[in-house]
């Protein structure tokens, strides 16, 4: 059962597609305090909270404060309350309170779940305006399905997007890409796509190609297609200010860029230097920008990733001038500890400055709205621009699309990757724990930068991360320029990496089938144990094992130098210790606690009672997988 309540004068987000009549009266479960712009609820020590999409810490969100405020911050440490996405849906599962809630507001909102006061859940609003949806159901999964039913079906990518993609900021030209493909093919390693970061562009301008680096881009795209490889270019939110650049000139002429209160176009900076930001909340601007993808579609591109769309801001021209003026005050001064930190903070505070998000406005649904009031739906509407354009430009073809910034509703137009993570073991665990929350909010096509983006990965971390990523719909190895190259063929244990890639391709028929079922039935692909076994107290304690689809549970190894791990089984299961798609051990384990050995080249998969895991004969491209060759590994008591 779903009820809608209205606080104040909410700004519509288009995230809910089912019309629900508002119910008068107070919001259930919470006590409202309009003076403090908050909702409060008293918790018992055993109550649990799940959801909120892409956040730090565990699957049960108790014990911290999470703020929905799409933020360009690559240091995803435990103290960070905001990451790239804003997904305001949670399920409260307590002894006397069991419900789901969607707080639909495009501005900043915080969920203090026992941080300030250990047994108090407080929702704090910057503006006390929101559509609140309260959902009651028989189980967490029932509540999730009801919620997903009102926000629309999840995006489904082309099947090839379940193949493996190699990426790096630093593939500078055609030959760099050829070298990557040649090396994978030479070692008979599966590969489906190569991602192009900002270096393919001319001077970092959207919808351009650098003619020196890619002299015949369409021909090169076709060359790669002939080898079964898809090229997936990046698109950024900022449009370079440059005379003669058609995207810039059209946007200025038609008034499609965000504006300051004075009516002048905001001048900010990202990769190309000075840029304007398209007003993606303006329907006409959204249609215009979406049609620009045609430039690359016409050259054979069938996949994109949208980046920097929180939007990330290196600086605004106005704030930069203010900083230069203030810096003059420090010249010739004796800088003590306080004045030095103040001086240092002037420059450090240029990037993604909160005040800058109050400097510009959108034309949204016939109203002029300051950006900070609708900040969280900016990236969502950039990807919406692309998704709606693909329906117009190529309605009979599925296009790969995923984004960094997101809000609920964007799940209908594309997936997400979890942004610029670090080469930390803790970020592998975070990747595992983020997947159920993202699925709850409709984001089924998701994954992380395997091996970590920032920093120099190690071979053991990359191996263990790969052993989890082979189960995520988006499987991409991506890294930062000037860090250690982390293509799989560069490491000592090449055969082990090849085996893991082949195992992924053997699993694709199962993963794709389970993904489609989850999308069509508003279900989750990744589930924590307690969602399936709500009566099992021990299941609530386990946050490093996940069910993937109906048939299997995965228990990744995520600790350095570990040669095994503890596993809890809520039922009898068959352990399959994979070294490759053809080399594996099988052993039935009884319900309960077990320590399971796992060498560095072994991945642990558990087949559930009465279920089957299909394995296809793998190939190096998804289109070559022979699904008629499928064999089955059966779980206990499976006929």
Domains in the chain, CATH or no CATH each: 2-151 (2.60.40.1760), 523-634 (2.60.40.4040)
- Residues 53-64: tens digit of each pLDDT: 999 999 999 999
pLDDT in tens, 445-458: 999 999 999 999 99
DSSP string, 149-202: HHH-PPP---GGGGSEEE--TT--SHHHHHHHHHHHHHTT----EEEE-GGGSS
Model pLDDT, residue 535:
95
Residue 139: which of 465, 408, 523, 446 has the closest Cα?
A: 523
- Is the dihedral angle over the CA atoms 457, 460, 464, 466 positive or is it negative? positive
pLDDT at 126: 95
Residue stretches of the chain with pLDDT short of 70: none
Residues 6 or more apart whose CB falls under 8 angstroms from that of 639 comprise: none
pLDDT of residue 377: 98
For residue 153, with 0-12 CB atoms within 10 Å meaning exposed, 13-18 middle and 19 or more buried, which class applies? middle
- Crossing angle for the helix pair 317-328 and 337-348, to the nearest 10 degrees: 160
For 18, other C-beta atoms within 10 Å of its C-beta total: 10
């Amino acid at each position: 059962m779903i009820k809608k309540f209205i606080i104040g004068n909410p700004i519509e987000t288009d995230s809910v597609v089912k019309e629900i009549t508002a119910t008068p009266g107070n919001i259930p479960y919470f006590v409202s305090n309009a003076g403090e712009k908050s909702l409060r609820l008293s918790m018992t020590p055993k109550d649990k909270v799940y959801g909120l999409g892409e956040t730090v810490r565990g699957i049960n969100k108790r014990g911290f404060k999470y703020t929905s405020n799409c933020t360009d911050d690559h240091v995803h440490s435990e103290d960070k309350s905001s990451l790239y996405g804003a997904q305001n849906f949670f399920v409260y599962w307590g002894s006397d309170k069991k419900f789901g809630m969607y707080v639909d507001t495009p501005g900043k909102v915080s969920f203090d779940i026992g941080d300030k006061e250990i047994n108090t859940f407080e929702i704090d609003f910057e503006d006390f305006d929101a559509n609140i949806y309260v959902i009651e159901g028989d189980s967490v999964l029932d509540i999730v399905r009801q919620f997903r039913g009102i926000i629309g079906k999840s995006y489904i990518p082309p099947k090839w997007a379940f193949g493996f993609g190699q990426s790096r900021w630093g593939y500078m030209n055609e030959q760099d890409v050829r070298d990557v493909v040649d090396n994978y093919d030479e070692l008979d390693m599966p590969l489906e796509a190569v991602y192009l970061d900002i270096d393919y562009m001319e001077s970092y301008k959207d919808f351009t190609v650098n003619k020196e680096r890619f002299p015949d881009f369409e021909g090169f795209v076709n060359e790669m297609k002939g080898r079964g490889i898809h090229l997936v270019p990046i698109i950024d939110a900022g449009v370079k200010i440059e005379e003669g650049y058609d995207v810039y000139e059209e946007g200025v002429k038609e008034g499609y860029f965000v504006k300051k209160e004075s009516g002048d176009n905001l001048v900010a900076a990202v990769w190309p230097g000075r840029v304007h930001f398209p007003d993606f909340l303006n329907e006409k601007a959204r249609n215009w920008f979406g049609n620009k993808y045609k430039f690359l579609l016409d050259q054979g591109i069938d996949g994109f990733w949208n980046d920097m769309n929180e939007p990330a801001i290196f600086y605004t021209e106005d704030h930069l001038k203010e900083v230069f003026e203030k810096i003059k005050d420090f010249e010739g001064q004796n800088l003590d500890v306080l004045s030095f930190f103040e001086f240092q903070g002037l420059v450090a505070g240029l990037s993604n400055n909160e005040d800058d998000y109050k400097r510009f406005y959108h034309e949204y649904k016939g109203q002029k709205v300051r950006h900070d009031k609708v900040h969280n739906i900016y990236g969502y509407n950039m990807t919406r621009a692309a998704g709606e354009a693909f329906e117009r430009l190529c309605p009979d073809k599925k296009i790969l699309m995923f984004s960094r910034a997101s809000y609920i509703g964007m799940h209908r137009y594309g997936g997400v990757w979890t942004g610029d993570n670090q080469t930390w073991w803790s970020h592998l665990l975070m990747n595992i724990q983020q997947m159920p929350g993202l699925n709850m909010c409709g984001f089924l096509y998701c994954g992380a930068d395997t091996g970590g983006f920032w920093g120099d990965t190690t071979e053991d971390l990359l191996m263990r991360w790969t052993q989890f990523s082979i189960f995520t719909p988006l499987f991409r190895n991506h890294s930062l320029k000037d860090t250690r190259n982390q293509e799989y063929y560069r490491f000592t244990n090449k055969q082990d990496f090849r085996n893991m890639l082949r195992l992924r391709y053997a699993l694709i028929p199962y993963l794709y089938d389970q993904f489609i079922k989850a999308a069509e039935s508003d279900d989750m692909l990744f589930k924590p144990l307690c969602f399936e076994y709500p009566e099992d107290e021990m299941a609530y304690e386990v946050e490093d094992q996940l069910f993937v689809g109906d048939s299997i549970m995965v228990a990744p190894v995520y600790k350095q130098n570990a040669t095994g791990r503890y596993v809890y089984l809520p039922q009898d299961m068959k352990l399959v210790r994979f070294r490759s798609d053809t080399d594996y051990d099988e052993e039935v384990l009884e319900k309960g606690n077990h320590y399971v050995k796992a060498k560095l080249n072994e991945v642990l998969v558990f087949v559930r009672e009465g279920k089957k895991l299909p394995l296809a004969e793998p190939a190096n491209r998804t289109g070559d997988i022979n699904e008629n060759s499928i064999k089955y590994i059966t779980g206990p008591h499976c006929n």
